[in-house]
């Protein structure tokens, strides 16, 4: 487990008797960019909800960095432990500038790391500058966020999580509703972000998944049914039948 940043073992989550996660076993390595795919209702978002503490599993363990038991922690503690999540629905402040959105988010970072090295002064500005560059919005930092295009808003939101410097970034369907060129930029962005941290992406767009992931996990009815390279997963008979075959 020494190489494992996130380890989930025998996770069960039940909603009114329905098993959304059904003995899920799943792990992510340090420095990995992993994609999770699977049909609607497979349990992908529930998986993220369990990691972030939004949902507590009925049973099973979720371990971060070998020793931190997330399944016993509150959402805020989990965020402070170094797990950041970009939600599907927008959470930016439309009336504030791009830069203000990032600064606000950076100031909410209460991790020990930021208290030791960050403070509230010069390095916060430097961190915001660096993040604006990474998300490609340097030229629009004084724009009102509400004026950004759909794709740009998504990048800003990714930036608002990245500026808090999580060790594991969770992203749910980042390219939904994006144009082809926005999707390509998002692939580059996530690959860049993954150079310094672990990233877990849930996504339907198979071209996008092919572009970014070395390893892909296929979820079906709350459990992992296949895991490997995109080519390996694409050639799996069960995956073709249950998921890919539907076009
Ligand atoms: P996915 O993200 O893979 O599409 P979800 O994790 O959102 O799937 O949902 C898995 C299953 O659990 C679905 O059948 C969904 O309807 C159900 N579910 C998810 N959240 C809840 C909830 N809060 N209450 C009841 N059922 C839920
Ligand atoms: Mg979902």
Contact 147, 103 (CB under 8 A): no
Question: Is the distance from the beta carbon of residue 45 to the nearest atom of ligand 1 less than 6 Å?
Answer: yes
Pick the closest to residue 105 from 165, 144, 163, 151 (CA basis).
163
Query: Is the entire prediction scored with pTM above 0.75?
Result: yes
The tokens for 20 are: 């959304």
Question: Is the distance from the beta carbon of residue 39 to the nearest atom of ligand 1 less than 6 Å?
Answer: no
Residue 195: alpha-carbon gap to chain centroid = 14
In a domain, 190, yes or no: no
Atom number in ligand 1 closest to CA 49: 6
| Ligand 1 site-directed mutation target among 11, 15, 202, most atoms within 8 Å of CB | 15
CATH number at residue 239: 3.40.50.300
In a domain, 129, yes or no: no
Question: What is the torsion angle, in degrees rounded to the nearest 10, for the CA atoms of residue 30, residue 35, residue 41 and residue 47?
Answer: 10
pLDDT at 246: 58
How many domains does the chain divide into?
A: 1
Contacts of 151 (CB under 8 A, 6+ apart): 178, 179, 182, 185, 186
Cβ-in-10-Å burial (0-12, 13-18, 19+) of 16 comes to: exposed
In a domain, 236, yes or no: yes
Question: Is the distance from the beta carbon of residue 105 to the nearest atom of ligand 1 less than 6 Å?
Answer: no
Question: Is the distance from the beta carbon of residue 38 to the nearest atom of ligand 1 less than 6 Å?
Answer: yes
Going residue by residue through the chain, which has 247 residues, state the pLDDT in tens, using 9 for 90 and above. Answer: 679 999 999 999 999 999 999 999 999 999 999 999 999 999 999 999 999 999 999 999 999 999 999 998 999 999 999 999 997 676 899 999 999 999 999 887 655 555 555 555 568 899 999 999 999 999 999 999 999 999 999 999 999 999 999 999 999 999 999 999 999 999 999 999 999 999 999 998 888 999 999 899 999 999 999 999 999 999 999 998 887 765 4
Stretch (H or E) spanning 211 = helix 206-212
Contact 31, 38 (CB under 8 A): no
- Residue with the nearest Cα to atom 17 of ligand 1? 20
In a domain, 75, yes or no: yes
In a domain, 168, yes or no: no
In a domain, 218, yes or no: yes
Residue 128: alpha-carbon gap to chain centroid = 20
Contact 1, 67 (CB under 8 A): no
- Residue with the nearest Cα to atom 21 of ligand 1? 15
Using DSSP's 3-state secondary structure scheme, residue 110 falls into coil
E-assigned strand segments in the chain: 4-15, 18-29, 33-37, 59-64, 68-69, 83-86, 168-172, 198-202, 215-220, 223-228
In a domain, 47, yes or no: yes
Structural domain boundaries enclosing 75: 1-82+200-247
How many CA within 13 A on the CB side of residue 39? 13
Question: Is the distance from the beta carbon of residue 46 to the nearest atom of ligand 1 less than 6 Å?
Answer: yes
Give the position of tokens 């090295």. 117
Give the ligand whose atoms come closest to the C-alpha of residue 36: 1
pLDDT at 113: 56
In a domain, 37, yes or no: yes
The tokens for 223 are: 């459990």
Q: Bridge-partner residues for 201, per DSSP?
A: 35, 171
């Amino acid at each position: 487990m020494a190489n494992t940043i996130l380890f989930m073992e025998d996770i069960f989550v039940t909603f009114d008797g329905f098993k959304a996660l059904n003995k899920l076993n799943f792990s992510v390595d340090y420095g990995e960019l992993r994609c999770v795919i699977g049909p609607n209702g497979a349990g992908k978002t529930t998986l993220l909800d369990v990691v972030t503490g939004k949902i507590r599993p009925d049973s099973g363990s979720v371990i971060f960095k070998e020793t931190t038991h997330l399944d016993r922690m509150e959402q805020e503690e989990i965020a402070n432990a170094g797990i950041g999540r970009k939600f599907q629905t927008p959470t930016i402040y439309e009336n504030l500038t791009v830069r203000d959105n990032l600064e606000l988010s950076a100031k909410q970072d209460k991790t020990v790391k930021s208290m030791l090295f960050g403070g509230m002064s010069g390095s916060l500005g430097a961190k915001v500058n660096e993040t604006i560059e990474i998300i490609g919005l340097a030229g629009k930092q004084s724009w009102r966020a509400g004026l950004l295009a759909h794709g740009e808003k998504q990048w800003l939101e990714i930036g608002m999580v990245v500026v808090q410097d999580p060790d594991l970034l969770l992203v749910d369907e980042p390219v939904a509703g994006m144009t082809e060129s926005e999707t390509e930029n998002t692939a580059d962005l996530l690959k860049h972000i993954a150079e310094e941290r672990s990233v877990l992406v849930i996504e339907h767009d198979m071209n996008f998944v092919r572009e970014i992931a070395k390893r892909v996990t296929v979820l079906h009815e709350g459990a992992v049914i296949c895991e490997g390279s995109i080519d390996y997963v694409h050639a799996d008979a069960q995956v073709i039948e249950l998921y890919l075959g539907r076009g």
